[in-house]
Chain A
Amino acid sequence: DTAVSQTPKYLVTQMGNDKSIKCEQNLGHDTMYWYKQDSKKFLKIMFSYNNKELIINETVPNRFSPKSPDKAHLNLHINSLELGDSAVYFCASSYTTGGTEAFFGQGTRLTVV
């Protein structure tokens, strides 16, 4: 039973399109995250939600909008996709308590053509 699942696993789309990535966790965690991994494998936090409230919003273009309908789900919507958005996007979840590890989904490889 997958702990953190995100869909789709692969997404190929044209510039200018709008797309969404969905994430669900069944671990009972209260915090969820979106991370971006670029072509050089560098990982950076984008957003974090705690109990449906946005608590971290790094410097990310306004075209990226996270939505958390409940604490088990965190979706990422991207408007007007650009070539530079091509990356692997990882969803993760954890408890808020300091020192607890995050569990990651399998990633969504987004390719903008």
Chain B
Amino acid sequence: GNSVTQMEGPVTLSEEAFLTINCTYTATGYPSLFWYVQYPGEGLQLLLKATKADDKGSNKGFEATYRKETTSFHLEKGSVQVSDSAVYFCALSVGAAGNKLTFGGGTRVLVKP
């Protein structure tokens, strides 16, 4: 079956620090990979995505590269802000499985001023 594993949080950082959240996956078929973000009290928003190997998704200073050889999709940001405090979810979907999303457990990130 499909599964996503991401590092457990919480991750606590100071403003302007470098952020990395590790994500690895197993999938039957050729998955598309996503990072979603959930701000407190809100729903999930797509942060970025990649649909094939070596693609790099990027948005709002965040980046992640689809690494098929290591089955990974690590999220990075060079300089975090307090407003980046949220829960981040790595996810995959396989078209043959009805495009449903399989999520990792989420990583809570807290950025302190």
B100: contacting residue among A41, A56, A95, A100, CB under 8 A = A56
Residues of A within 8 A of B (CB): 4, 31, 33, 35, 40-45, 48, 50, 55-56, 90, 92, 94-107
| Chain A residues with CB under 8 A of B77 | none
The answer on a CB contact under 8 Å between B105 and A45 is no
Q: Which interface residue of A4, A95, A105, A107 has the most chain B CB atoms within 10 A?
A: A107
Known: A40-B105, A99-B51. A106 touches B43 (CB 8 A): yes
Ordered by A's residue number, 9 sampled pairs between the chains whose C-beta atoms are within 8 Å are A4-B43, A31-B99, A43-B103, A48-B98, A48-B100, A56-B97, A92-B101, A99-B95, A107-B42
Top-7 shortest CB links A-B: A98-B95, A99-B32, A99-B51, A104-B43, A43-B103, A104-B44, A41-B106
